[in-house]
Structure 1
């Protein structure tokens, strides 16, 4: 959920408005580049004075919140605002009555920023604090009072900086303020847009709220949740629809069913990656048949998914979801992919955490600056360019590969040192042993490829039901043989940007190799340099070369399982890949974009070849029959 129209103006990291690609399981090139950026840093706190905060009565806080919501401070005299602020909320640090800056609006803003930047207030920039209702939807009067006190200070600041009164120029631009304060401003804005306090009573006898809220956009949030559930083909949508209709007076109001429901239906969501988790947990909490075992999802461990009632659903930050995003009938909405096949190795209802190491390769600032030069359509430094220097690349759509099929998903409890090989499985139901990886040594970035840190946590004490961390793999049937491919790396798949008036020609200085998916089993260590070393355990050391010397083009036309296998192969070797539909992006433009982003693999598909195999959509009118 983004708070700005441009990435540089937003607190999102990554910028969520532009993060998802046009194909399920993919991201945009901008999101891929941003993943190598620096964390948000708003600079040091302002050097403020000794402004102290007054103790407040909750009756005053609630009354003031309601007044600011209805009246605001537009066209108010700065002198009157000064008296309201320093007589009720803050102690005035200026003792001289004749100080010329005493009543300036800029000084009031400066003091409010200084107060909110202090560590005793809730830091909503921290990921663990971004589910806002956790701080007022509980039986803790002290915690509730502190939250509403901070909210009131944030509203006072937000309304002053958005009023038409000129501010002191010494405050500078908002992007230079502490990140903590900027999140307080977003919270104030979300509150004014979505929530209104009506009275200090409870909406329902079973509700935990200490005041009565009116949610201005609740109906819109209900409609969005409905669309989310139907798009993912949630298995119990008729029951969810009944709960959302609120026709049964014995049931709780939907916003009072859980903290996630309160967060979703109020619209109090902060910039960042928490919204996909809030909407999924809200859907689960609005399903009366959902067991407790699938309610332990958390945005603090994004490499997760869940299995329930014959389907699995996976987060866009989980490698299994990214790989299976290419499967038949998969939908992606709001960061979730599904429905997907189940696995007999999991419980009927279970939250699953997937062990995934960081991918190989990285982008540097120089790589970003050189994108245009690395992907030029023709060499500008050449005086003469010949027609023979260009090739017209046409995809081979005739007789696509048709000997790859997904057999099953596999899950094995992970250990801290577990490493796996892609190998042919012997006949029979027995599971093969898991030998150590043949990859060892150090990469070009100086990080060990044999003992990478795990994306996710090994200690999941924040979960009530302790989800299990698994090694995930997919077994494919390839030419009458079973291949188990372990999804070892959190590999990104980038959606290629569409081109116009294609196909285009490609300058022959770009090197590439075209293969079919069933030949990937013969390709190892793509993009790496192997140096023989008799003293090492494996007899060789593998170094990942970040420069693109040759692009591997995988023609994954035909059945969707071809592309799933190609993505799984990329995850096994830790290679980012560019995904392109040849009807939207020609081969030449895909290769040039891969060179621009230092990506060594391009996966080609053709959606129109599978139009006859489209999965039937869910009939949403079932409740009207």
Structure 2
């Protein structure tokens, strides 16, 4: 065959190899969009390879705005029916959360995917921190003035009485399900919108039909785009706090803030905030049902949107407008408003006698108003359309994270769900009639942003952080539970907070043990297990152990901190210096061409003159002398002396997020963490090694690849360089003394990597990464340094006997001695075998992650037989990372 490789040869050579891209999309503002593709393959089993897990439950679908399917469609008839009902044409708003929440849970526990890793430094919460925002809750003069102009005679809106808002919301829900707006005369829909609700202030786009849906849409978009009037849901904090504005009550569901967001001074001002939120929902639903009507018409061959109309819409509809449309979709899909007449002698307190915790979500506040259109004794009740689905999703989450006492918990929830019949959690009220229901004892703090670093003033340090930290005060049937049960959620990180909060708020035993204050981005110990947010470095490290479980942003493990009782924990870890230099506009994601060039399958080679000798077959076991076997056992997980005990800084870790300054956040000390391992190398005496979890590093699952079936590589046993390539995939080239490989993809010689065995790395811990990478191959100091370190955790690793997935600590005699760990097989045989079959993990994998945290190395986790080393090296170069952990 020819000595050079042509285009057809290259396609066969790299069949099944992922290629990494980062492209800007004009209709999505902000950072470019990272993606992974297989351009040489059309087979579904290759094209659909993914580095992240699929959303398992329809109840969790609100976590993302990206199109997706949930796993429960395979076995859940209700979920399948719900998906089929959405197949009709509907408007698809071009708005996405960042980072992509689909990519936030990688195939390896405690990791994320390629896309999330690149998007995290430009995430929505970081934009909020960097640029700040004017909060509606601040009651700044600009907000007061803007709202006054909105309701003035020259403004967009008339001030509707509350009953009229409720009536229109109720009616919009009915229209949404049977949208006939396109078929109705345009004059009718125009008059309905402008003669009672809005004022026609916009210049008509459609000159031929002054009353057209296009002109109505234009007016609604302009109204929603008005600055300083509406809650800006492009801000992460407002997405989380949406339910607090709707269901928060004076004296109960309150939030605290020491920064931008302040509480209203009185109940009437709190009700005013709720009024404006409901107005925002109303305007957004009016817009969405018209956009859906036009989209359905387009699908049926009736053209409504001219190209110029679409262009105008994209220009006018800023991010705040698009997020309001997402809010409208969530409301219309999940919320139903019902006008009900109060029964004879019905009390203001609506908590049902037989309802259990689901019924306790009812907080019925009779809607009384001077307006005669709503007689005294009527009220509007919010009903969740998918309450049972959300409850099922909650128990699914609890089972996935191995919640203690889950059988009793699930049984209790099922009984309560049956008792409540239709889930009817809350009734809206008008100003002046607010009062709390089912609030007990201490004040309900709400939520805090606890993103900070010790030793600096908290206002100055909120700015630089890749991961937003949040703490909250829980209370039975609080607004966090309501946000989840009603499924009134917007895409982003909020769902992980809502799930754990709802689980805890409705487990009386857990609340009694843990208390009402929750560090939702830290962790807690409860009934012999520890639970950690994936926002916490401890969770991401311990996730690599046997028996660890991960679900929707939470990790559970049987590994417990030494000498720690049940309760919440906050872990102190430093941000990686390189990460701090790559935030916002300096993030790697903006280097679109560089990302693609640094990970290109042909490296820096000349495409017209490529030879087999330009490629190598990288392997993790290329050693002149085979390294000694390493046996590794986790001995202890310790929390060190709290940072506050060394450097007192009361409450400096907590920056409040809403409503009253009078409520202070409780003190939650931060503890540095360390792991202690017993390591035996080559049969020598075991030695203890300590690894402090110093840096808040990240892990990414290396993207899976599929070995090419169209080619075979032949190389000399003494060299990784490919000598010959058989692109037919059939013939065995060369003599029998040569090795034939089909287990992976080749790597161009322009990529440079060094392999270090885990036993050697333990001895060299503390050495800077630059020393481990070896000498630079480039004479020019300005040349791109693409050296990568591969940590070999496979070769000659001494596996311990197969354990049960359960790991418990056995206390040794004295308090000064190290606790040891005992593996025990406490699960039923069938469950035990299933866990063994499906789970990866070992103490060695925990150790290598802990070592990376100690050194501040972000790392790619590459599992053999899921992906080859060559593809992992190229992905590391795409991310700009230097470390690959290669595991069995």
TM over 0.5: yes
Tell me which moved more, 394-403 or 259-268. Answer: 394-403
Match of 2:117 in 1: 32
Per the alignment, in what secondary structure is the counterpart of residue 156 of structure 1?
helix
1:459 to 646, 654, 658: 654
Superposed CA RMSD: 4.0
Deviation, 1:155, is 0.8
Sort the Cα spacing of 1:519 and 1:198 in 2 relative to 1 into closer, same or farther, 3 A.
same
Tell me the SS of whatever aligns to 1:474.
strand
Q: Deviations over 1:529-572 (max 9, x none)?
A: 89xxxxxxxxxxxx9x9943242333255461111111111112
| 8 Å CA contact 2:643, 2:669 repeated in 1 | no
Out of 264, 267, 271, the position equivalent to 2:487 is 267
Quick one: distance in 2 between partners of 1:367 and 1:308? 45
What CA deviation, in whole Å up to 9, does each residue of 1:490-531 have, x standing for no partner? 21111111121222333444322222223223143544489x
> Offset of 1:486 from its aligned partner?
1.8
Aligned position for 1:474: 675
Name which of 201, 216, 219 aligns with 1:93: 201
Deviation for aligned residue 1:336: 1.0
Q: How far apart are residue 31 of structure 1 and its match?
A: 1.1
* Contact 2:119-2:589 at 8 Å conserved across structures: no
1:156 to 282, 286, 294: 286
2:179 is equivalent to residue 179 of structure 1 = no
Contact map agreement 2:699 2:861 (CA 8 A) in 1: yes
Q: Which residue of structure 1 lines up, in the alignment, with residue 740 of structure 2? A: none
Q: Distance in 1 between matches of 2:547 and 2:496?
A: 20
Q: Counterparts in 2 of 1:111-260, with a 5 A limit?
A: 111-116=219-224, 117-131=226-240, 132-139=242-249, 141-164=271-294, 166=304, 169=309, 172-174=312-314, 177-200=317-340, 204-205=351-352, 207-210=362-365, 211-247=380-416, 257-260=477-480
Q: Secondary structure at the match of 1:489?
A: coil
Q: Provide the rounded CA distance (Å) in 1 between the counterparts of 2:878 and 2:202.
A: 57
Answer yes or no: is 1:498 the counterpart of 2:700.
Answer: no
Q: For the structure 1 residues 111 and 297, does the alpha-carbon distance in structure 2 shift closer, same or farther, using more than 3 Å as the test?
A: farther
For the Cα contact (< 8 Å) 1:319–1:356, is it kept in 2?
no
What is the alpha-carbon distance in structure 2 between the residues aligned to residue 39 and residue 239 of structure 1?
Answer: 39
- Write out aligned runs for 1:212-611 (5 A): 212-247=381-416, 257-291=477-511, 293=514, 295-297=516-518, 302=521, 304-358=522-576, 360=578, 362=582, 364-365=588-589, 367-378=591-602, 380-381=605-606, 387-396=612-621, 401-412=629-640, 414-415=642-643, 458-461=653-656, 465-479=666-680, 480-501=686-707, 502-521=743-762, 522-528=764-770, 547-555=785-793, 558=799, 560-606=842-888
Contact 1:11 1:272 in 2 (8 A): no
Q: Distance in 2 between matches of 1:37 and 1:118?
A: 24
* Correspondence for 1:105: 213
**Matches of 1:32 and 1:282 in 2, distance apart?**
28
Instruction: Look up the match of 2:166.
Output: 62
Q: Which moved more, 1:107-116 or 1:379-388?
A: 379-388
Q: Is the 8 A contact 2:569 2:670 kept in 1?
A: no
Aligned to 1:538: none
Residue 366 and residue 242 in structure 1: after superposition, are their counterparts in 2 closer, same or farther (change >3 A)?
closer
Cα gap change, 1:238 to 1:95, in 2 (>3 Å): closer
TM-score (norm 1): 0.78
SS state at 1:604 partner: strand
Is residue 294–residue 351 contact of structure 1 (8 Å, CA) maintained in 2? no
Structure 2 vs 1, CA of residues 144 and 594 (structure 1 numbering), >3 Å: closer, same or farther?
closer
Distance 2:222 2:612 in 1: 65
CA distance in 1, matches of 2:848, 2:498: 32
Displacement after TM superposition at 1:347 (Å) = 3.5
* Distance of aligned partners of 1:243 and 1:581 in 2 relative to their CA distance in 1, 3 Å threshold: same
Q: 1:82 to 1:477 in 2, by over 3 A?
A: same
Deviation at 1:474, TM superposition (A): 1.6
Instruction: State whether residues 401 and 562 of structure 1, in contact with CA within 8 Å, keep that contact through their aligned partners in structure 2.
Output: no
**CA shift at 1:124, angstroms?**
2.3
CA drift of 1:400 comes to: 8.1
Question: Residues 93 and 460 of structure 1: is their aligned pair in 2 closer, same or farther, counting only changes over 3 Å?
Answer: closer
Give CA deviations for 1:235-259 in whole Å, capped at 9, x if unaligned. 1313321331134999997957221
Question: In structure 1, what is the Cα distance between the partners aligned to 2:864 and 2:424?
Answer: 45
Structure 1's 119 and 265: CA in aligned 2 closer, same or farther, altered over 3 A?
same
Shift of 1:600: 1.0
The answer on whether the counterparts of 1:407 and 1:475 sit within 8 Å (CA) in structure 2 is yes
Change (3 A) 1:311 1:359: farther
Q: CA deviation at 1:575?
A: 1.3
Q: Of the two, which has the highest radius of gyration?
A: 2
Post-superposition Cα deviations, 1:38-73, rounded to whole Å, max 9, x if no partner, equal 75999x9xxx99523212222211111111111245
Contact 2:124 2:236 in 1 (8 A): no
3-state DSSP class of the match of 2:885?
strand
Indicate if the aligned counterparts of 1:551 and 1:599 stay in contact, CA closer than 8 A.
no
Check whether the contact 1:305–1:352 (CA below 8 A) recurs between aligned residues: yes
Deviation by residue 1:386-418 (Cα, 9 ceiling, x = unmatched): 555544344449998443222222223554898
Decide whether aligned partners of structure 1 residues 2 and 383 sit closer, same or farther in structure 2, where only a CA change above 3 A counts: closer
Q: Provide closer, same or farther for how the CA distance between residues 562 and 294 of structure 1 changes in structure 2, counting only shifts above 3 A.
A: farther
Q: Distance in 1 between matches of 2:550 and 2:668?
A: 24
| 1:15 maps to 2:100 | yes
Distance 1:53 1:549, change over 3 A: same
Distance in 1, matches of 2:111 and 2:202, equals 56
Equivalences, count: 552
Q: State the 1:268 CA deviation.
A: 0.8
Q: Distance in 2 between matches of 1:160 and 1:602?
A: 51
Partner of 2:191 in structure 1? 83
Equivalents in 2 of 1:340, 1:159: separation in Å? 49
For 1:12-41, what per-residue CA distance to the aligned partner results, in whole angstroms no more than 9, with x for missing partners?
110112232111011111111122347599
Residue 171 of structure 1 and its aligned partner are, at CA, apart by 6.1
C-alpha deviation, 1:294, in angstroms: 5.2
Matched, 1:4 2:66: yes
Change (3 A) 1:583 1:38: closer
Q: 1:247 to 1:71 in 2, by over 3 A?
A: same
CA distance in structure 2 between the aligned counterparts of 1:583 and 1:523, rounded to whole angstroms: 28
Contact 1:551/1:594 (<8 A) preserved: no
